[in-house]
Structure 1
Amino acid sequence: MTLKRFASRGAAVAAFSILARVTILAIGFVNVLLAARLYGSVATGQIGLTSAMVNLGALLALGGTEMMALNRLSGQDDARPAIFTASLIRIGLGGVMVSLLWAAAVVSGLAEPYHAGLGEVLYAGLPLLIALGALRVFCLEVIRASQSIHLYNVVAVTAAMMPLVFLLAWPLLPGDLSFAWVVALSEAVNVTLIASVVWWHGFGLRIVRLSRADLRATLSELRPFYVSSVSVAVYQLDILLMGFFADPAVLGVYVLASRLANVISLPKNAAGISFAPRVAQLFRNQGQEPAFAYTKRISLFYMPLSLVVFVLLWAGGGLVLGFINPAFVAGKPVLVLLCLAHLVLVLTGYSGQFLLLTGQEKLQQGVFVAASAVMILGIVVLVPVMGTEGGALAVLAGALVRGGVSTYVVRRTFGDGVSVWAVASMLLARRQA
């Protein structure tokens, strides 16, 4: 295969991956819109809360195992069975830990505010649902690690569509079920589908007997992946904490506003699929200047698009909420605050990701911890007083800390930046040259 043909094939694969990622995000957005339009705020709140609990619990149970599997199973053919076996053991241990934590929360009464949103059966069986979520995430990463990119994208898009199927079929199901069952039934079908794909293809994986030394050596590599996994999990915390203080109907208004505001970051998230590996490669092989230049060029793609979406939602957010369902019009102040939070993250660019990709993991983790602490404290303090507007204000405060501090740290560490100000400076310098 010639270099030109290889490059063309790589570009096609990247384009297909970006399209698949955008499709998955769009399907998730449509799922929430459909729940809000057809079934109202209670359904939206129950589905949003259950999804957040499953995703957060699954990431805590995995503890970075899925990221380690993606990193380690991509090569080292001889070591693949040992890595696969150790990963399954780690997931089992993580599942037991999460189950014990949930049991303690139920016994102590701390989990009682979630009872109404989950329903009786899922309230008692949440650890099983979390286990299904963890297996889904892990098996998807196993497929991706096998370099079967097209297969991974097809399976991931199919899995994203499953809640949509059950929402459309909801009138055919028993009428006394909580809408949380949309998530539960989707997880059951998705795990069956994805695990069957892994079993059918094999990917050279099998369970082997491990010595204690081999198991410890493999699991010792989890620490950096664990931090990254937990940082992803924290993005589910706003809905989870809001569900502790608010009933499903009120939470549903927040969930819909949150999903609408997420559209502002969609161009940035889509561009990030190709951004990360390229920047890491440039920084490693050519130094920081080409890495910064490439990041700023990517920013020129997504920042204008995000600004257009922000203006549309800022000006017409109330109309959009009312069109979806008149019961959600009260969520306009929440939508405005969450739009501002996403605007901050868009304008500060890939500052946090840039630190992670250039070997500054500890700095990035420090910024993340500070921003998460501000958001969590804000939700705990403000939601009982201000309701959903207080939760949105806490998210905005966390975004300001995350975006502002990461921008400052990047500038101080490298002498350059990737925020909107750095991009504007680059354009001004080009014009003057």
Structure 2
Amino acid sequence: MNILISAYGCSPVRGSEYGIGWNVVKQIAKDHSHKCWVLTNTTDQSQIEQELANSPLDNVTFIFVAMSEGSRNSGLSHYLYYIAWQIRAFFVAKKLQDEIGFDLVHHVTYQNSWLPTSIGWLDVPFIWNGGAKDKIPSVLLKTLSLQSAMMERIRMVSMNALGRFTQWSVASRAQLILSREASQWSDNLPVKAFPPFGLNQKDIERLGQLPQRQDEPFRVVSIGRFLGWKGFALGIRAFAQFHREHPTSEYWLIGDGPEKEGLQKLAKELGCGDAVRFWGKLSRDQVLQRMAEVDVLMHPSFHDHWPTVVLEAMASGRPVVCLDIGGPSLMVQEDWGIKVPVDNLSQVINDLDQALLQLAINGEKRISMGLKGRVIVSENWSWEIIGEQMLSLYQEVINS
């Protein structure tokens, strides 16, 4: 089978969307009856080429689609860059189709329901990672900086405007749409609830060897880019309340981004500045090492799709505290984490505080949850399992 993959985000050294792009390609490469061509951005070209030099994928060809520099910033300019890249990638794909003839096309990343991709216009059986249709609950907008709140409003307006166009131009052309929740889509569309997402077996085994932690101080960690919608400000507010009841506790923040200065200021204003440690941006290996030194992952993101860090925490035996919205709400169940409903802001902060307190004072429950999370990841979320399921879907689409 000749397969064309569109993976704007694709990297062997990054997580989330970029890791998804890379790992989907690796799973296809395991079946040597398939040949795979990958359209990707030039952002991680050097890392991809270095990885291929060390571990070749003989049946995979990467095509790096270049765009002009200087327009990849986060926010509106990034969305415009992404759309422009999709248009250029289509013309590259069309030329490849004329030369090769593909049996299947799969748009892998970004997983997004409202930003269009043109790859489905090749008149080849088309699978679309359609993401989900998440909007921030209005009560959470109050926690955002002015700039972040403005960006989220722009995002919501864009979702409504572009979403209609994407429904017509992309969804209607797909033989299969892979989404987090089929219920978010029109009944007449071929949507399947499927997570093209996981951890590789090596990482699962590595994280599974981390010992359960019972020493003081009790440590909470949040990991990600410091953007408003990631919810770090909400996390600090909840931790500040928890810290007053558990004054030896610590909150580690791993990452960097435009909200960092505001987060540092907020921690000081709430009286927990000395207990909140900003580690900066760390490599993925360093992040996994830090998991051994914490007790709980707090992931207060407002609209994450499939956050890799949640699986990494589960695999390392650390319970996850998250909001009961978005992808984490499907990944986390009561046996291995605590989900907080979103009704109003004070309720969310209080419930996050109580979740942390519950895990801090009940070490036996914390350890039991952690062990259950490890089992869930090993049995359901390895890339080897997801890859087999995905290749079966490919065959179903071709056969139909």
**Higher normalized strand content (fraction of residues):** 2
Higher relative contact order structure (alpha carbons within 8 Å, sequence separation ≥ 6) = 1
TM-score, reference length from structure 2: 0.28
**Higher normalized helix content (fraction of residues):** 1
